[in-house]
Amino acid sequence: MATQDAVFAGSVPALYDRMMVPLIFEPYAQDLARRAALVRPRTILETAAGTGVVTRALATTVPNAHLVATDLSEPMLAFAAGRQPQGARIEWRQADASALPFDDQSFDLVVCQFGEMFFPDKVKAYREARRVLRAGGRFLFNVWDRIAENEFADVVTRSLAGVFPTDPPRFLARTPHGYCDTDGICDELRSAGFADPTVEAVEAISKAASPLDAAIAYCQGTPLRGEIEARDVTALEGATKAAATALAERFGGGPIQGRIRAFVFAATR
């Protein structure tokens, strides 16, 4: 994984939360929160919390639990903390999911939404999740399916190959949608000490008010922005327009919708 794939800074956190969260992350946050509520945890650790979409959902579905939300990115965590629901009991901590600053067996539940693909050493991060779980504790996380099963991301990626034919930006295919071998992930969980992990495919519909909104979300509200600007610092607007044109050609010029697909994993300590 390229280092810049994990850079969520500058204007990215605000755009990510305003545009990417409702576009693709909200339905999966609600799904994870519902699954978390079934565990009836008293203590929850969230890793790679980002701008807090899952954190806010957990605060609603499991209101009596003590919730510790962490992220490696201080800009993302600061943005999330600024959006904390009134009265919610959330502790915000900057932390590396591969070296958690918590005692052994501290939590009933560890949750991570679309963060595992950013961890350089996945098995190490899984071992850390297991270490901080109490006996019988649950680990819940999700990852995206391959990019071909996620229509907006696929169209945007293909459109940018036309803008940069000799060096196309591949962030979306490489990182968010590049960690989707379910058998391999289950093997990694077993290597980390989890027994009998389970996986379930979850499909949803991504909706945007316009092709341009979806294009801005992907091109300017994710680390894809850094890939575009690294190729040509003046190309961001043009690349965004090219992505919007491709989305309009595929899905129409008004409000658009496309298929998204992810996998939800569960494992017990």
DSSP notation for 189-242: HHHTT-EEEEEEEEEEEEEESSHHHHHHHHHHSSTHHHHHHHH-TT-HHHHHHH
Element (H, E) at 263: strand 256-268
Token pair listed for 263 = 């996998």
In 3-state terms the chain splits into helix, strand, coil percentages (rounded to 5) of: 50, 25, 30
Separation of alpha carbons 224 and 200, rounded Å: 28
Q: How far is CA 241 from CA 23, 117, 167, 173, 265, in A?
A: 18, 28, 18, 20, 36
Handedness of CA 244, 171, 19, 231 (dihedral sign): negative
State how many domains the chain has.
1
The pLDDT of residue 14: 84
- Count CB-CB contacts under 10 A for residue 86: 4
Place of tokens 């794939």: 5
Q: Are 29 and 57 in contact (CB under 8 A)?
A: yes
CA 191 to chain centre: 23
CATH number for the domain that contains residue 149: 3.40.50.150
Looking at residue 166, what DSSP letter applies? Answer: T
The pLDDT of residue 7: 43
Separation of alpha carbons 45 and 134, rounded Å: 12
Looking at residue 141, what DSSP letter applies? Answer: E
The pLDDT of residue 255: 98
Helix axis angle for 53-61 and 26-39, nearest 10°, is: 40
Separation of alpha carbons 111 and 128, rounded Å: 12
Looking only at the bridges linking them, the beta strands covering 195-208 and 133-144 are unpaired
pLDDT < 50 regions, the chain: 1-3, 5-9
Token pair listed for 150 = 């996620």
- CA-wise closest residue to 156 among 229, 87, 212: 212
Length of the chain equals 269
Determine phi and psi for 213, rounding to 5 degrees. -60, -45
- Count CB-CB contacts under 10 A for residue 71: 28
Domain coverage including residue 211 = 3-268
The pLDDT of residue 85: 86
The pLDDT of residue 11: 58
Q: pTM score, two decimals?
A: 0.93
